[in-house]
Amino acid sequence: MKHSIYKRKDGRWEGYVIYNDPDTGEECKKSFYEKGRYGQNVKLQVSEFMGKIENGDYSDIKKVTVEGCLKKFLEVYCKKLEQTTKEGYKRYIEKHINPRIGKLLVKDIKPVDIERFYNSERDKEFSEKTILQEHRILHRAFKKAMSDGLMSKNPCDGVDAPSPEDYEPTVYNEEQFIELLNKLHGHRMESIILIAGMCGLRRGELLGLTWEDIDFESNLINVHKNRVPTHENGVIEKGTKTKKSTRIFTIPSVIMPELKRIRGIGKLYTCINGSEYHPGSVSKAFSEFLRSNGLPHIRLHDLRHFNCTMMLKHGISEREAMERSGHSTSTQIKKYQHIIEDMDKKSADKLNKVLSKKSKNKTVKHTVKF
C-alpha cells in the first residue's frame, strides 16, 4: 500500500492511497482534497483510510461482489470457528457458490438470483442437504454484509430454505450385530466396532480413544477427545463435538471380557489407538469388511444409531440415553423412537401373514368379540 500527501499548483492539498481492494483484489487509488492552508484534514483522511484498509473495515459498495463478500466473511467473521467448520464453508464457497454467482455485485443481487442458483444445483443433481448448507452460508454472509452497510436487505430472506428429507439410517437388529461381531473376531477393527455398537460413540470419538480411557476395574469409559480430518493439517485431535459430548459412563459389563482379550492381543489387531488411522480410511475399511463378508451395508455411524435404538427398545429413559450418547437435545433422541415404531410395525406386518393364508378350497372367517 502506497500513499502520498502534497500541495498542488492550484493551491489545494491532495492526498492519495494506492491499495489492493480487499473485496476484488484489484489495485485502486483513493484521493482526498482540501483547500486549507496546512492540509491537516487530508492527512487525517489518508491516515483513517489506510487504517480501514489494514483492519479489513473498508469496502467499496459499488464494487463488492458476492465472491468478495464471502472472502471477507471467511477471513473476518469465521476466524474463531473450528478449523473443520471453516474448511467446510470454504469448500462450499469455492466449489459451488463462486463459480455460479461469485461475480454478481452484492448491491444488485436479488432473491431470484439465489433461487436460480439453487435450481442450477438441483439440475446438477446435488442433494437438498448440500443446497441447504449453501443457503445457510449465504444467509450468514449477507447478514454480516448488511451490518457492514453493503446491502439493505438479505436476498436469502426472499427464498424458501431447502428442506431435505430426514436421513433414515439402516439399523441392524441384535442378531445382525452379533453376526457382525462374530465375523470380526480377531480383526483389527474388532474393538472400535464393539464399542461403537455397545457404547454409541461417534467415529472421531472412537479414534480418539486409548486404552487409558477405559477403566477396567470400574467398567467406565472416558470420552474426551475427537480425531477429525482437515484439508490443511491432516488428522487433528481436538475436544469433543459439544460440551455434552464430553462424558464418562459405565460400559456394559458383558463386553468387558472381550475388551480385555483384545487389549491382550496388542496393537496389531486393534485400531483403538487412533493416531495410526485416518477416519476416512476406517470408514472405508468397515464398508469393505461388510461387503467381503456378505453383511448388509451400513455406515460406521449407523452403529451409533443401533446403540441409541437398543437403549430405547430395552427401556432406558430418554434422559439417560442422552447422557450416555452425548446428545445435546431430547429431539435427537426422539428420532430413534420413530425407528423403533417402524420396526414394531414391520413385526406386526409379518404376523399378519399368520392369518392371511387361505387354503384353496376353504375360507377361514374370524370373529373378534369385545
Reply yes or no on whether the pLDDT at 341 is more than 80: no
Mean pLDDT confidence for 133-139? 97
Question: 352: which 3 cell numbers?
Answer: 399378519
- C-alpha dihedral (243, 245, 248, 250), degrees to nearest 10: 150
Partner residues linked to 223 by β-bridges: 247
DSSP state of 28: E
Mean pLDDT confidence for 146-154? 87
CA distance 305 to 177: 12
Q: How high is the pLDDT of residue 345?
A: 66
Mean pLDDT confidence for 112-136? 95
Q: For 101-111, what is each residue's pLDDT tens digit?
A: 999 999 899 99
> What's the mean pLDDT when you consider all of the chain?
85
Tell whether pTM > 0.75. Answer: no
Cell 470380526 belongs to residue: 184
Q: For 202-234, what is each residue's pLDDT tens digit?
A: 999 998 888 899 999 999 999 998 888 888 888
CA distance 133 to 118: 11
**Range scoring the smallest mean pLDDT among 13-17, 194-198, 229-233, 249-253:** 229-233
CA distance 279 to 274: 8
